[in-house]
Amino acid sequence: MTIYEARAIGPGTLKELRTADDAGRPCVPYTAAEGGDPLRCCLRGAEPGERIALVSYAPLRRWAAETWARPGAYDEQGPVFIHADDCEGPSEDRAGYPFSRAGALRTVRRYNAEGEIVGGRLLEIPADEERGYDEAFAEAFADPEVALVHVRAVEYGCFHFEVRARRER
């Protein structure tokens, strides 16, 4: 059985982003007024009153540094929300995929081991949100060239989360 894992931004990267983001700008924390901002550190919406920051993040560049890939022109950076201070990451009992809402539009972008885009698709999240994502990820990882997938919002192009496939026995 294949499990598709939605991955949050890791603790080491978060520590760096809380000092300077991937565009070289300092982190500027603020207090979330209304909440709901999609936090990429713990894969949930911010609560009103939490200290958060909007930083520039280059997910493919970070992955490439770990794997020696060379994404070239596919290296992108964009805005993501994170907690301004340490957080515990995603909840162990979190169910389903983060930032999922039936009817929302997402891009499911596929990358090969070199960090090059090898395809993608538009996903309108169906009423059965988890099944919709699972089908999109199964389609993506059916291509043996696909090493990882990024899920992004269509409206703003924001990076939501990275997905990797793992087999369980």
- Per-residue pLDDT of 13-50, as tens digits, reads 999 999 999 999 999 999 999 989 999 999 999 999 99
What pLDDT is stored for residue 3 in this prediction? 87
Two structure tokens written together for 33: 């007024």
Answer whether residue 162 shows pLDDT above 90. yes
pTM of the model: 0.91
Question: Which strands make up the sheet holding 30-31, listed edge to edge?
Answer: 30-31, 51-57, 78-83, 38-39, 44-45
CA max distance for the chain: 45
Q: Is there a domain that residue 2 lies in?
A: no
Give the contacts of 29 (CB within 8 A, at least 6 positions apart).
Answer: 51, 52, 53, 84, 85
Q: Could you tell me if 74 and 119 lie in one domain? A: no
Q: Is there a domain that residue 100 lies in?
A: no
Residue 146's domain comprises: 105-167
Q: Could you tell me if 110 and 54 lie in one domain? A: no
Q: Is there a domain that residue 89 lies in?
A: no
What pLDDT is stored for residue 166 in this prediction? 78
Q: Is there a domain that residue 93 lies in?
A: no
Answer whether residue 168 shows pLDDT above 70. no
Mean pLDDT (the chain) is: 93
Q: Could you tell me if 74 and 110 lie in one domain? A: no
Identify whether the C-beta of residue 153 lies closer than 8 Å to the C-beta of residue 160.
Answer: yes
Q: Is there a domain that residue 143 lies in?
A: yes
Which residue has better confidence, 5 or 140? 140
Number of structural domains in the chain: 2
Which domain-ending residue is among 83, 116, 148?
A: 83
Q: Is there a domain that residue 18 lies in?
A: yes
